[in-house]
Amino acid sequence: MIELAEVTKRYGTATAVDRVSFSVSRGEVVVLLGGSGSGKTTTLKMINRLIEPTAGTIRIDGREATQLPLHDLRRRIGYVSPQIGLSRHMTVARNIGVTPSLLGWDAARIHTKVDELLALCGLEPGRIRDRTPGELSGGQAQRVAVARALAAEPSIVLLDEPFGALDSITRERLQRSFLDLRRTLGFSAIFVTHDVVEALLLGDRIGVMQDGRLLQLAPGRELIRNPAHP
């Protein structure tokens, strides 16, 4: 349902992503693992067209991403950025409801969806929905960011180091929540991290990136047993 073929991004003479090819099947979670500057974020942002590739093709549900209207792409693909990116002057409920509103859902349906997602993401709707982001802890804010990404019922979720800024106890809690969410909702996901333990915990398969190239893509166990690169 997500297919990348020879996807490349160049900035001048520098190559940020170099002929990356892989696919993610329905319900699968692929983790992209690599150090800073290895091309993880650029790869992710090309999938939802925040960045246009220099070369190669990306297909979403069998259709070329460049052929899909942008609003259609945004509906199919939820996105969690490292900066969280909640609007500070809007309540949690309004933040989560942004995309459903744009899609023309009525208020009752949005209200129900917001409370359902808050609960699924481990937050008490009654206590959280009317707060502003400034009234949340870091972990709560990141849960809200995940809920917002899931609001329009996307079949695909892209997560860019979503738990990277959190303390280790909070991070472990959110990792467990993520495992629960994928079991309940069954989305496909690409999850970017530089944390090997997180990659092994969350990924059905792990893609190792370095210098813009995808060195190996395999289940964690195989990666450890038979690494293609030191």
Q: Which of residues 42-81 bind ligand ADP (CB under 6 A)?
A: 42
**Binding region for Mg ion (CB under 5 A) out of 36-44, 93-101, 103-111, 127-135:** 36-44
**Binding region for ligand ADP (CB under 6 A) out of 10-18, 86-94, 134-142, 219-227:** 10-18
The two tokens of residue 118 are: 């808050």
Q: State yes or no: residue 41 binds Mg ion (CB under 5 A).
A: yes
Given ligand ADP, Mg ion, none, residue 42, with its beta carbon under 5 to 8 Å by kind, binds ligand ADP
Q: How far is CA 20 from CA 17, 32, 116, in A?
A: 7, 12, 37
Q: Which of 219, 162, 214 has its CA nearest to residue 8?
A: 214
Question: Residue 33 in contact with residue 194, Cβ under 8 Å?
Answer: yes
In what order do the strands lie in the sheet containing 55-60? Answer: 14-24, 2-11, 55-60, 63-64
Say how many residues touch ligand ADP, by CB under 6 A.
11
Question: Residue 7 in contact with residue 62, Cβ under 8 Å?
Answer: no
Given ligand ADP, Mg ion, none, residue 146, with its beta carbon under 5 to 8 Å by kind, binds none
Question: Residue 33 in contact with residue 206, Cβ under 8 Å?
Answer: yes
Q: Which long-range contacts (CB under 8 A, 24 or more apart) does 214-222 make?
A: 214/20, 214/21, 214/22, 217/22, 217/30
List the one residue from 23, 25, 37, 180 that touches ligand ADP (CB under 6 A): 37
For the CB of residue 159, give the shortest distance to Mg ion in the complex, in Å. Answer: 11
Report the residue number, 33 or 93, with the smaller CB distance to ligand ADP: 33
Report the residue number, 40 or 205, with the smaller CB distance to ligand ADP: 40
For the CB of residue 206, give the shortest distance to ligand ADP in the complex, in Å. Answer: 14
Q: How far is CA 195 from CA 9, 73, 174, 199, 206, in A?
A: 24, 29, 14, 6, 11
**Binding region for Mg ion (CB under 5 A) out of 33-41, 46-54, 92-100, 177-185:** 33-41
Q: State yes or no: residue 11 binds ligand ADP (CB under 6 A).
A: yes
What pairing do the DSSP bridges indicate for beta strands 156-160 and 63-64?
unpaired
Residues near ligand ADP (CB under 6 A) are 11, 14, 16, 34, 36-42
Residues near Mg ion (CB under 5 A) are 41
